[in-house]
Amino acid sequence: MKRSRKILLICIGILLISMVLWRYGYEKRKSPDNLPALSSFTEENLADLKGYQREQLQEVWNMPSSASHMKEKEQDMWFLPDGRQLFVTYDAQNGVEKAEIALPQTIAPAT
């Protein structure tokens, strides 16, 4: 009886530890499921983008409004619902290197 109770407690402990580790891994993994929608994107989300791959962003947010190819760097731009622009710069492996939000550039009318 004592032995079977000990084995049962060990199994329950292993199960609980496994569940906690799985939950932690699921929440911290850079998965498209964890990306915020562009409609609710805020400046606080910028740091969280580091580590995502370009394909993951395009899968969730669709193709960018524009893309540029700089020397050794690539950058995509999406429009946010409030009119601001989200710029994402990638490293050589297409991982997010830097993200920033900017106001759209406007050209002053000639006078």
Q: Which residue has the tokens 């193709």?
A: 63
The pair phi, psi for residue 88, each rounded to 5°, is: -125, 125
pLDDT level of residue 108 (50, 70, 90 thresholds): low
> What class does CATH assign to 34-105?
alpha beta
pLDDT digits (tens, 9 = 90+) for 9-66: 999 999 999 999 888 877 667 778 788 888 888 888 898 898 899 999 999 999 888 8
Residue 3 has pLDDT above 60, yes or no: yes
Residues 106, 110, 111, CA angle at the centre, nearest 5°?
A: 135
Residue 68 has pLDDT above 90, yes or no: no
| Confidence at residue 104, expressed as pLDDT on a 0 to 100 scale | 73
- CA 48/CA 35 separation, integer angstroms: 9
The model's pTM is: 0.67
- CA 111/CA 108 separation, integer angstroms: 9
